[in-house]
Amino acid sequence: MPDETALAQQEPVQPAVRRYALKTAAPARKGLVDYDRDLSDEQRAVALCDARPTLVIAGAGSGKTRALTYRVAHLLETGTPPSSILLLTFTNKAAREMMARVGQLCRVETRRMWGGTFHHVAHGLLREHASRLGYADRFGLLDREDAKEVMASATADLGYGVGERRFPRSDALIDLYSTAVNTQRPLAEVIATEAPQFVALEEEILRVARRFAERKAQMNAMDFDDLLLNWKRLLVEVPAARESICRRFSAVLVDEYQDTNRLQGEIVDATAAPHGNVLVVGDDAQSIYAFRGAHFENILRFPEDHPLQRAPGEGPGVARRVPRLARRRTLSQRARAARTGWRRRGAAPVLRRGHARQGRAVPDVPDDAGGARPGAAALASEPVP
């Protein structure tokens, strides 16, 4: 028999295996969205800006909605969960269309994203937290006509509006009450400035407003102004609710910021206070929701509330910077600036960025919610000092 050495010599020798790795000439992109191809330089600066308070000033036709959409896409591509993004718009349709476009861009499911009007989002949050404010389960929601009926009943309860003495109609009272809530001003001040013809009836109107709040509490119901007011109350008065809401939203984006009122501005600031990742887009030469107390002052105040600050080592080309807005700028100055090109139709978006404010203790919708009836005094005390 052949020995082991002879057998080993007879086995064929296997050739060495060579492996090759094919590489592309250019590195592959990390995400699905091509920001260089799809966006202008200014739009790309908005979409890819860092997580600091950012104000985007953009006129009509500048592509600000596109920039905001790609900003949401960038947040998703860099790891922000859809449920942690809060997108506030002035129509629910706009939010749905924007989120649908984001879903197409990133190929992700965006149904878990919080998007819609301030009132829509407030209602969703109050469904979870209304019991913390004393509401019973399944609170009701009053539209304007319902609210007018409740106001008329409150007026009748006190015996006003009958006889020879003239008294405001329920729709006028609703407007005064709503203005006080949305601008966060005392009702007496609103009467003096917005309806001086009723100054002689100030005490009676204040009593009716208190009775109006009491009736809503007895009905376990909110009107649309209460939705925003109670969202703010959760952030200001209920630490557990504030922690839950602020932890849920790690990125806050607001479209048409020029149409927000003081109450909405305070809600945005309080919700984004822990992380400072807030981006607002608006045109300070246009405001169409003034009847809800909206005022372009929110845009003018944004750089003051969030002072401009350049990050260490940041180059000038990352995002275009402009000087801070003047602390006081009259309406005539803004109009004159618009005529001389400071605000041009179709102008590219401009970024004003800053850092989070320190030490600020800021504080179409279905029904349903949770919770014990709120005290009438608590509701009445907000617009009626």
Query: Domain count of the chain?
Result: 2
3-state secondary structure the chain: CCCHHHHHHHCCCCCCCCCCCCCCCCCCCCCCCCHHHHCCHHHHHHHCCCCCCEEEECCCCCCHHHHHHHHHHHHHHCCCCHHHEEEECCCHHHHHHHHHHHHHHHCCCCCCCEEECHHHHHHHHHHHHHHHHCCCCCCEEECHHHHHHHHHHHHHHCCCCCCCCCCCCHHHHHHHHHHHHHHCCCHHHHHHHHCHHHHHHHHHHHHHHHHHHHHHHHHCEEEHHHHHHHHHHHHHHCHHHHHHHHHHCCEEEECCHHHCEHHHHHHHHHHHCCCCCEEEEECCCCCCCHHHCECCHHHHHHHHHCCECCCCCCCCCCCCCCCCCCCCCCHHHHHHHHHCCCCCCCCCCEEEEECCCCCCCCCCCCCCCCCCCCCHHHHHCCCCC
pLDDT in the model for residue 377: 30
Task: Indicate if 188 and 324 belong to the same structural domain.
Answer: no
Q: Tell whether 381 is covered by a domain.
A: no
Q: Report how far Cα 104 is from the mean position of its chain's Cα atoms.
A: 23
Q: Comparing C-alpha atoms, which of 67, 71, 68 is closest to residue 39?
A: 67
Class of residue 48 by CB neighbours under 10 A (exposed 0-12, middle 13-18, buried 19+): middle
- For residue 267, the domain's CATH number is 3.40.50.300
* Cα→Cα distances 203→18, 33, 209, 210, 385, Å: 93, 60, 10, 11, 11
Task: Indicate if 122 and 242 belong to the same structural domain.
Answer: yes
* Cα→Cα distances 348→41, 53, 280, 298, Å: 9, 19, 15, 21
Domain boundary among 159, 191, 219: 219
Task: Indicate if 63 and 96 belong to the same structural domain.
Answer: yes
pLDDT in the model for residue 22: 61
Q: Tell whether 2 is covered by a domain.
A: no
**Whether 49 contacts 353, CB under 8 Å:** yes
Structural domain boundaries, residue 197 = 140-219
Q: Tell whether 231 is covered by a domain.
A: yes
pLDDT in tens, the chain (385 residues): 555 555 555 555 566 667 666 655 444 445 688 899 999 999 999 999 989 999 998 887 888 889 999 999 999 999 999 999 999 998 888 888 888 888 888 888 888 889 999 999 999 999 999 999 999 878 999 999 999 999 999 999 999 976 556 899 999 999 999 999 999 999 999 999 999 999 999 999 999 999 999 999 999 999 999 999 999 999 999 999 999 999 999 999 999 998 899 999 999 999 999 999 999 998 867 665 554 566 777 887 888 777 654 444 443 322 333 223 222 333 334 433 333 333 333 444 555 555 444 333 323 443 333 333 333 333 333 344 3
Task: Please provide residue 323's backbone torsions phi and psi, each rounded to the nearest 5 degrees.
Answer: -60, 155
Domain boundary among 186, 219, 252: 219
Task: Indicate if 123 and 80 belong to the same structural domain.
Answer: yes
Q: Tell whether 12 is covered by a domain.
A: no
Q: Tell whether 365 is covered by a domain.
A: no
Q: Tell whether 385 is covered by a domain.
A: no
Task: Indicate if 206 and 237 belong to the same structural domain.
Answer: no
Q: Tell whether 359 is covered by a domain.
A: no
Q: Comparing C-alpha atoms, which of 246, 307, 256, 241 is closest to residue 277?
A: 246
Q: Tell whether 10 is covered by a domain.
A: no
Task: Indicate if 186 and 155 belong to the same structural domain.
Answer: yes
